[in-house]
């Protein structure tokens, strides 16, 4: 289940999604029974994208047995999770653990903080040696999980076999060959190829909406490196915090995209079509799309994928090459484990959780246990072919917690893993990543905000993002970015951009201070 969401203009705002969640009606007021040393039974609640059965529980249960505890699972399907979560919180009938960063957002944790215990005192060499090693080897993860008040309410994850590069552009190689065109390497060459597609391929859409932000994917060569969805559009330029929709690079990119739009190179329905409509164009029996962004060609184009290849990192006007890269958000996370005040004998629970932070455990918790989804070899690990009609991705979700739950990994560990199926999506993505990751630049990190800051962001960002999205669509389709820019910036300031940016800068400074401790 990769990051394939279309995010036109402004990505999903994580903090806004949680504003209306009700806090628990007194459940968090009860004193934690964490000092109880006799309890060995724990309830773990988790949220899954689909009903894939219970096989994913097998490996965590093996770890639980070794840790001397028993785990009972409450498994929810994502479509029902929001309502179920509100009911659980209001009833006060909490599980011992919520597992998976998709169960609670930062805002929801802040709203219900009295329901979760501070894990700081358990994160030490005696109780959690594996996690301590992870944090020592990856100081940014300590900063990621540490709240502004110095407390730690959740445990982290670094996922295995993840690319440095996130979403990227794919181009129709069949059309390039048919027209005798070379693969473009610069922005100007890219525009020329799109012009050739429009002129010589009847009914073609030279540049389509795709499965990832089509505007930022197009203006990438102008040094517009939008991070993951939900990061409020924050970027880093030479260590300085910037909002992606208020930079000179953005302005130049939008101007260039409008020029391409006037030539008929951009899908005119880009700002109005649905996700389904965009996907239907990419998967049409008669190929329509020249270039589109997404995670892999297979995810974008389905049966047409064989005709599409990754576009190189194009040289922009400054002669440099840029890529979409945000491993702090795509590959790492906090909130993978939340321990509630209901938990008794937390030390025993933490012993189990610490056992997830090894290479052996992480690869099994990503693809499936040894003998089912993976095998341990003399040199490392082999990811097994899927059985039956399941895709490799679905097979992994059936057999593991996959993208969620505690894990540890390093890029160096990737060399220890082989795939029985060379068409495995992860294997193909990493192969593409090998040629592009050299161009990756630091992205805005996974910072923590105070409760007050989260509330302010929720209040201010809705206006900022709506206005920026409105002007983006207008400028791409009708032009005028240069003429309107001064007014645009003035309106953003009136809406609270300075207040928003102060919060981002403060959060970034706290993060850097924690990393460098």
Both tokens of residue 116?
A: 């979760």
Q: How far apart are CA 437 and CA 426, in angstroms?
A: 15
Percent of the chain with pLDDT over 70: 92
Residues 65 and 111 in one domain: yes
Q: What is the pLDDT of residues 327-361, one digit of tens each?
A: 888 899 999 999 999 999 999 999 999 999 999 99
Q: What is the CATH number for 315?
A: 3.40.190.10
- Render pLDDT for 472-494 as a digit per residue (tens, 0 to 9): 999 999 999 999 999 999 999 99
Tell me, yes or no, whether 437 lies in a domain: no
455 within some domain:
yes
Whole-Å CA distances, 200 to 82, 267, 269, 283, 481: 49, 16, 21, 20, 31
Does residue 129 share a domain with residue 206? no
Same domain? For 68 and 217 the reply is no
Same domain, 371 and 415: yes
| CA dist 342 → 101, 174, 259, 472, 492 (Å) | 19, 59, 59, 48, 45
Residues 166, 310: contact at Cβ < 8 Å?
no
426 within some domain: no
Are 174 and 271 contained in the same domain?
Answer: yes
Q: Say if 441 falls within a structural domain.
A: no
The boundaries of the domain holding residue 506 are 168-324+447-516
Q: 192 and 154, same structural domain?
A: no
Region label for 180, one of left (φ > 0), alpha (ψ between -120 and 50) or beta (otherwise): left
Let me know: does 15 contact 454? Beta carbons within 8 Å: yes
What is the Cα 489 distance to its own chain's centre?
Answer: 29
pLDDT digit string (tens) for 420-444? 998 899 999 999 999 999 999 999 9
Same domain assignment for residues 184 and 267: yes
Q: Are residues 478 and 401 in the same domain?
A: no
Determine which helix (DSSP H) or strand (DSSP E) holds 253, and give its type and residue range: helix 248-262
What percent of the chain is helix, strand and coil (3-state, nearest 5)? Answer: 45, 15, 40
Name the DSSP class of 420: S
301 with 189, same domain: the answer is yes
Query: What pLDDT, on the 0 to 100 scale, is given for residue 29?
Result: 41
- Rounded to whole angstroms, how far apart are CA atoms 245 and 469? 9
439 falls within a domain:
no
Does any domain span residue 211?
yes
* Residue 1 lies inside a defined structural domain of this protein: no
- Are residue 293 and residue 342 in the same domain, yes or no? no
The answer to whether residue 18 sits within a structural domain is no
Strands 234-237 and 374-376: unpaired
Span between the terminal Cα atoms of the chain, in Å: 35
Domain count, the chain: 2
């Amino acid at each position: 289940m990769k990051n394939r969401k279309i995010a036109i203009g402004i990505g999903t705002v994580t903090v806004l999604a949680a504003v209306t969640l009700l806090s628990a009606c007194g459940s968090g007021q009860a004193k934690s029974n964490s000092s109880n040393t006799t309890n060995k039974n724990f309830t773990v609640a988790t949220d899954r994208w689909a009903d894939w059965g219970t096989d994913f529980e097998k490996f965590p249960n093996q770890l639980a047995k070794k840790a001397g505890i028993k785990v009972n699972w409450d498994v929810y399907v994502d479509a029902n999770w929001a309502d179920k979560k509100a009911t659980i919180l209001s009833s006060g009938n909490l599980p011992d653990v919520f597992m998976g960063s998709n169960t609670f957002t930062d805002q929801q944790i802040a709203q219900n903080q009295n329901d979760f215990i501070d894990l700081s005192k358990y994160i030490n060499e005696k109780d959690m040696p594996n996690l301590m090693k992870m944090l020592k080897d990856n100081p940014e993860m300590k900063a990621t999980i540490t709240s502004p008040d110095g407390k730690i309410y959740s445990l982290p994850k670094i996922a295995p076999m993840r690319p440095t590069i996130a979403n990227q552009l794919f181009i129709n190689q069949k059309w390039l060959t048919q027209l005798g065109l070379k693969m473009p390497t610069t922005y100007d060459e890219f525009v020329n190829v799109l012009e050739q597609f429009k002129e010589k391929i009847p009914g073609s859409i030279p540049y389509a909406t795709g499965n990832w932000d089509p505007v930022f994917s197009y203006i990438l060569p102008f040094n517009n490196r939008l991070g993951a969805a939900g990061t409020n559009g924050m970027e880093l330029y030479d260590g300085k915090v910037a909002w992606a929709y208020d930079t000179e690079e953005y302005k130049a990119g939008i101007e260039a995209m409008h020029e391409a739009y006037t030539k008929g190179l951009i899908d005119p329905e880009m700002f109005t079509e649905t996700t389904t409509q965009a996907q239907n164009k990419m998967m049409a029996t008669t190929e329509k799309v020249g270039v589109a962004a997404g995670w892999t060609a297979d995810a974008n184009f389905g049966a047409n994928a064989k005709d599409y290849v990754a576009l190189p990192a194009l040289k922009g006007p400054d002669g440099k090459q840029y890529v979409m890269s945000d491993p702090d958000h795509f590959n790492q996370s906090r909130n993978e484990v939340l321990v509630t005040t209901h938990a008794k004998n937390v030390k025993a629970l933490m012993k189990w959780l610490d056992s997830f932070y090894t290479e052996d455990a992480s690869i099994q918790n990503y693809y499936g246990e040894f003998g089912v989804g993976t095998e341990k070899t003399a040199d490392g690990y082999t990811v097994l072919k899927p059985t039956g009609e399941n895709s490799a991705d679905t097979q992994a979700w059936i057999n593991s917690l996959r993208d969620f739950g505690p894990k540890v990994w390093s890029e160096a560990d990737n060399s220890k893993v082989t795939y029985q199926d060379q068409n495995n999506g992860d294997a193909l993505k990493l192969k593409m990543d090998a040629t592009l990751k050299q161009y990756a630049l630091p992205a805005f990190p996974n910072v923590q905000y105070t409760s007050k800051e989260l509330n302010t962001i929720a209040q201010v960002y809705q206006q900022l993002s709506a206005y920026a999205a409105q002007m983006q669509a207008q400028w791409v389709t009708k032009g005028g970015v240069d003429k309107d820019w001064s007014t645009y910036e003035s309106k953003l300031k009136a809406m609270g951009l300075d207040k928003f940016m102060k919060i981002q800068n403060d959060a970034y400074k706290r993060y850097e201070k924690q990393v460098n401790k």
